[in-house]
Amino acid sequence: MLTQLSTVKTRLNISDTSADILLTSAIAAVSERFDRECNRRFARQIDAIEEFPADSLEICPANWPIETVAGFDLKTNETTGWQPLSPTPDYLVRNHCVISLECAAGSRFQQARVTYTGGYVLPGTTPDAGQTALPSDIEQACVEQVAYWYQNRNSIGVLTSTVGAGSHLPQGDLLPCVASILKKYTRMNFD
């Protein structure tokens, strides 16, 4: 999850445990929404697998920043399945988020995949060398979105709410400041 329960409770000034299950579910839901909204996965994953057309030269994995690339596999048909590419194709990791291949792993009639480690270390865990902590603006956006939902949870069915100087915010949608932050972390697809 993109933030911890204790952080959200501090933001909401809640000290008892009566809302813990509800808030934990909200944090999980908002974290999942952020992943979908940004077309990526924020949480660090070891040995993540990303499939791509074998004739591609650019791969934009869902978990980034990319730490390491373990290898590439190629599938020509379902009978033989995935076969490791040996030798490993020459590649370059650019901007910690794109894997550029020197030449295609195969033809347009084949499927390829890369095994890699990437993503952010989530709050509550200290990153090791070579790992990257979740950016603080993403965590804060998650905290604010969960707090907003929690404070307005009894308004289910209301289509809009007035915020500030008469502006209207659709219920259940992302806060404008949250949407603005997420825009910076959206993964683009070249497929």
Domain boundaries, the chain: 5-41+132-183, 45-118
Predicted local distance difference test score (pLDDT) of residue 154: 86
pLDDT at 27 over 50: yes
156-190 pLDDT, tens per residue?
665 555 555 555 545 558 999 999 999 999 987 65
Secondary-structure breakdown of the chain: helix, strand, coil percentages, each rounded to the nearest 5: 30, 30, 45
28-64 pLDDT, tens per residue?
999 999 999 999 999 999 999 999 999 999 999 999 9
Q: Is 170 exposed, middle or buried (0-12, 13-18, 19+ CB in 10 A)?
A: exposed
pLDDT at 8 over 50: yes
Summarize the confidence of residues 83-107 as an average pLDDT.
95
Q: What is the 3-state secondary structure (H, E, C) of 106-139?
A: CCCCCEEEEEEEECEECCCCCCCCCCCECCHHHH
Predicted local distance difference test score (pLDDT) of residue 173: 84
The larger pLDDT score, comparing residue 165 to residue 2, is at: 2
116-150 pLDDT, tens per residue?
999 999 999 999 999 999 999 999 999 999 999 99
Cα Rg of the chain, angstroms: 20
Predicted local distance difference test score (pLDDT) of residue 115: 98
> In the predicted model, what is the mean pLDDT of the chain?
92
Query: What angle in degrees, to the nearest 10, is found between the helix axes of 20-38 and 176-183?
Result: 50
Separation of alpha carbons 187 and 191, rounded Å: 12
Structure tokens at 106: 């195969």
pTM as predicted: 0.86
Q: Which residues are bridge partners to 128 per DSSP?
A: none
The alpha carbon dihedral of 177, 169, 13, 6 has a sign of: negative
Predicted local distance difference test score (pLDDT) of residue 169: 47
The larger pLDDT score, comparing residue 1 to residue 162, is at: 1
